Structure 1
Amino acid sequence: MDLIEARYLIETPFEPEKIATIIAGEQSSGTFVRVAGETDELRERCSARVLSIRELAPADHPSLQSAYLTARGINGPYRRAEVRVGFPVDNIGHNLATLAATVSGNLYDLGEVTGLKLMDIKLPKAYRDLYDYPVAGTKGTRTRMKVHDRPFFGTIIKPNVGMRTHDIADLVEQLCEAGVDFIKDDEVCANPASAPITDRIPAIMERVRRYRDRTGRDVMIAFNITDETDAMRRHADLIAEHGGSCAMVSMNWTGLSALQTLRGSTDLVLHGHRNGFGALSRHPLIGMAFPAYQTLYRLTGMDHMHVHGMGGKFCDEDSEVQASAQICAQPLAPENGDEDHVLPVFSSGQWAGTVPATFDAVGSADFMFLAGGGILAHPSGPKAGIMSLRQAWDACEAGVSLEKHATGHSELAEALTFYGARG
């Protein structure tokens, strides 16, 4: 029997074995009592299996409150365990929303637990093959952009929102001339009154095509098309009509099913922004960790996926960012090759000074490095900002410190002085 394996971190005043059995039953063929029609044959065919339980150190206080436990006067100690449960593939079929409902569903609401977090999901190859692969991923993005043997260096339109269409087009033209590889909208700029997307796409792509025709160098623009499903499909068609190659989506707010529909209707590169992920992940004992999250969203056919940044402005430990980036470079099914990789995208407070840590985290040049203020706020302008990033990368390749490399490279030297003073 093919199984989809889900790994959970649980906290409970009960025996972890009892909770593991509840998880398996609640999310497959069972409920809290046996019902008519629940034959032994049906249970054998459809019941989820508890695969393993590894108990961890207990806690004196509950991570989350439960009215169920309070009403029954049940207190700690609160036992913690890592639990692996296998769900029969045939219960789910080719249905991503139901996969998510199966491995998550009502589990977060169980009265018996004071903490439950979905940590990871493992898929059999035959099940992974039911879903779309990236149309580009890391390898395809390199081919399309003709960027090899180094990271992709890009930026974000700043200010985030409020600029007029012609101002954004002017900035994009300036950034193309500065040498960026990639430019994206901010997540809060999709279809504002100041720059409607139906105006923004043709105005920006006219500048990009002109630059491409003159220089032979392509710059990938990720237009934020986050919206309801039909609108996203229309916007994707408009991008393609004007010679664009990429669309950005806020994955959490469009959802799995809408992204599947979008992927099925366009061959644009899909740039997945995970804004809102902290609501799912930030608490250690509720929600969903990145390994599980990225599995679900990669099944929609994403090509790029944000992982935050090393030494950035968000709450993640650098070790979490590193682990997130590395898992993007692994296939969802172990037998698959690099066609099943997504490109990890580093952003949030990035500048030349964080390039070495990013390289160390990934261990290769296969990443996208986005710097908003790290390019646009450089004291000598955006061209110097992008030069400082490339000089930082050159230092990494040469195995020398940024400070040493900066002695002969003024753009990097200015960046170290200007951004370094801000901590």
Structure 2
Amino acid sequence: MTLNKSYLICVDESSIERDEHIIVTYDIETTSDTSLGQIGEVIAYDPTIGTWAKTQGETDEIIEAYSGKLLLPLPSESAQRGRIRIAIPVHNINPKIGGVPHMWAILGAPYTLKQVTRIHLVNIDVPRSFTDHLPGPQFGIAGIREIMGVTESRPFLATMLKPRTGLSSDGYAQLALDVYRGGVDIVFDDELLVSPESSPLFERAERVKAVAIQVEAETGEPKRYAANVTSSVRYLREMSLKAKAIGVDFLYLNPVSIGLSALEMVASDDEICLPILCCRSSYGMLTRGNDGIAFFVLLKLARFCGADGMHIGSIGGRLPHAIIGDDSKLRSRVSWLRTKLKHVKRTFPIVSGGLHPGNLERNVERLGKDIIIQAGSGVIGHPDGPLAGGKAMRDALNAVLQGIPTFEAAHKSAELEAALGRWGYLDGEGVHDLDELWAEPPRQVSGTTIYTSGGSVVIGDVDTRGGDFVGRDQCRGKESGE
């Protein structure tokens, strides 16, 4: 494993020009005959200029200028488990000809090394010289608020159409009609609902958009629709333009399945010119088991590639998925998406996954007001139907904005009472039954808060074990507004 070029490849972190390198952090375990230092040299050298045998022209000058660098100090030179940081010269990757796909290929190269028993990509810090060539969000938080026509700083309520398949287009339109009338702001197609035989995409889009217009006229409140156009790249532009012609307000895309480059393509198309809201379905395939990439890395790259909104999971959601997360992980995800950068607009965090009126309050308290709260089954699955589900969510949100615990607001809202009776009420100590709450309200747990443009966020230790963290690389970007 010894490369005999350690003096060129292993460098002190302070000697690196950060604006000239892509800094990558891996969490690594090695075989018993290989140390972190040894494997780090290989990961720095092999994907950039190396191969299994020395080649003609591989001079010290070439290695110094083009090889990746293993940043020192290491956790322990002889250790076989820990984090290593690799600096890749940014001039190795043309941001247009190659771009994100080329960078992705370099990041993935170490995963097949035999001496690695576990590898997890936990962070990537990309310099502005590279990200300036990526589209970034075209609308961002401010642009979406303008499209919504809501100037007050409040979360938006969204519902995802359920069931994922099986209903007709008229059936989904009726669901949309009910939840819009109940108080929901945005209806999303489900992330796994595109164009099944039972409900072709454009037929469904026309009917859902029609009821959005109808309810907006009835209530005077803005009602918007996000159509799922996740498709083969061959048809993606055509699908997006047709959806726009129908009048959909947002495009809903899955950058994991279509690829980050496809997201770039849609975001940079001046003719499409619609906000792009992104899900993360199938992300688990990239991180199941001991290997993979942290969700935090996907969030960063999706924002740079054009996501105006991005799913982040939820606090205390009822879904049995790892993406739900805990307080620290969710706060770090929100912090990154809303961090202000001069050259990249902020991305709307979409809080989703097992949400309902009983855990809405906890998510708003912990994550702030610049969020989209997306509840599918927690609205449509209300005991009294989707209209009552929409009203229960809106009553819960109104109570939170007024500083009233939702279990107290349930005294004056039959719909909210029914929702909390079914799903309970979440606070910092766990889930409580409504009868328990009304008999003996929980004590208020004090905490330290900081106030951001997105609302108050409770300070706490951030769990970095899964790669979700806001470190010095990310905090460097807090410069100016959009």
> Smaller-chain TM-score range?
0.7 to 0.9
Deviations 1:326-360 (A, max 9, x none): 322225xxx437x5321111112110111122123
Report the Cα offset of residue 11 of structure 1: 0.5
217-226 or 108-117, which deviates more: 217-226
Q: Who is 2:301 aligned against? A: 296
2:93 corresponds in structure 1 to 92
Q: Which runs of 5+ in 2 are unaligned?
A: 1-16, 432-482
CA contact (8 A) 1:229 1:261 kept: no
* Counterpart check, 1:261 vs 2:269: no
In the alignment, which residue of structure 2 is the partner of 1:371?
375
Is this contact kept in 2: 1:28–1:47, CA < 8 A?
yes
Q: Residues 159-186 of structure 1, C-alpha deviation per residue, up to 9 Å, x if partnerless?
A: 1111111222222223222221111111
Whether 2:246 is the aligned partner of 1:242: answer yes
Q: Which residue of 2 aligns with 1:69?
A: none
Aligned equivalent of 2:36: 16
Give the letter for the 1:100 counterpart: W
1:21 Cα offset (Å)? 0.7
Q: Which whole-Å deviations, capped at 9, do the CAs of 1:177-231 have from their partners, x for residues lacking one?
A: 2221111111221111111113222232233334445555332211111111132
- Whether the 8 Å contact between 1:271 and 1:304 is mirrored in structure 2 is yes
Task: Name the aligned partner's letter for residue 25 of structure 2.
Answer: R
**Partners of 1:108 and 1:350 in 2: CA distance:** 35
**Per the alignment, in what secondary structure is the counterpart of residue 299 of structure 1?**
helix
> Offset at 1:282?
4.1
| 1:277 maps to 2:297 | no
Q: How far apart are the structure 1 equivalents of 2:126 and 2:70? A: 16
Query: 3-state SS of the aligned residue for 1:36?
Result: coil
Partner of 1:152: 156
CA drift at 1:78: 7.4
In the TM superposition, 1:6-405 aligns within 5 A as: 6-12=24-30, 13=32, 14-55=34-75, 79-94=80-95, 95-104=99-108, 106-147=109-150, 148-213=152-217, 215-265=219-269, 266-283=272-289, 285-312=290-317, 313=319, 314-315=321-322, 316-318=324-326, 319-331=328-340, 335-336=341-342, 339-362=344-367, 364-405=368-409
State the shift of 1:53 in Å.
4.7
**What one-letter code is carried by the residue in structure 1 that aligns with 2:138?**
V
Output the amino acid matched with 2:231: D
Q: Is the 8 A contact 1:53 1:82 kept in 2?
A: no
Compare 268-277 and 379-388 and name the one that shifted more. 379-388
Could you tell me how far apart the structure 2 residues matched to 1:215 and 1:311 are?
Answer: 32
Q: Does the Cα contact within 8 Å between 2:359 and 2:425 map onto a contact in 1?
A: no
Which of 21, 33, 42 is the equivalent residue of 1:3? 21
- Relative to 1, partners in 2 of residues 1:201 and 1:406: Cα closer, same or farther, differing over 3 Å? closer
Q: What TM-score, normalized by structure 2, do the two folds share?
A: 0.77
Distance 1:421 1:83 in 2: 42
Distance in 1 (alpha carbons) for counterparts of 2:252 and 2:235: 13
Contact 1:53–1:81 (8 Å) recurs in 2: no
- 2:278/2:307 contact within 8 Å kept: yes
Q: Show structure 1 runs of 5+ residues with no match.
A: 59-76
Cα displacement string for residues 100-157 of structure 1 (whole angstroms, at most 9, x for unaligned residues): 11222x2111111111110011121222111002122222111110233211101011
CA 1:421–1:181 in structure 2 vs 1: closer, same or farther (change >3 Å)? closer
Contact 2:181 2:390 in 1 (8 A): no
> Deviations along 1:61-89, whole A, 9 cap, x unmatched?
xxxxxxxxxxxxxxxx9721111111111
CA distance, structure 1, for counterparts of residue 171 and residue 387 of structure 2: 18
Structure 1 distance, partners of 2:418, 2:219, is: 28
Deviations 1:253-311 (A, max 9, x none): 1112222222233211111110111222343x310002212222222201111112211
Q: How many percent identity over aligned positions?
A: 28
Distance 1:53 1:11, change over 3 A: farther
Q: 2:170 touches 2:207 (CA, 8 Å); kept in 1?
A: yes
Give distance in 2, aligned partners of 1:146 and 1:392.
21
Residue identity opposite 1:382 in structure 2: P
> Does the Cα contact within 8 Å between 1:325 and 1:344 map onto a contact in 2?
yes
CA distance in 1: counterparts of 2:217 and 2:391, whole angstroms: 23
C-alpha spacing 1:50/1:322, structure 2 compared with 1 (3 Å): same
Aligned to 1:71: none
Distance 2:117 2:79 in 1: 8
Indicate the RMSD between aligned Cα atoms, in angstroms. 2.3
Matched residue of 2:52: which SS?
Answer: coil
Give the number of equivalent residue pairs: 397
**Separation in structure 2 between the aligned mates of residue 102 and residue 16 of structure 1, nearest angstrom:** 19
The AA in structure 2 aligned to 1:356 is: E
CA–CA separation in structure 2 for the residues paired with 1:22 and 1:145: 50
Say if 1:398 and 1:180 are closer, same or farther in 2 by CA, change over 3 A: closer
Q: Normalising by the residue count of structure 1, what TM-score does the alignment of the two structures yield?
A: 0.87
Higher mean alpha-carbon deviation, 201-210 vs 188-197, is at: 201-210
- One-letter amino acid of the structure 2 residue matched with residue 416 of structure 1: L
CA separation of 1:199 and 1:80: change in aligned 2, threshold 3 A? same
Q: State the distance in 2 between where 1:401 and 1:164 align.
A: 38
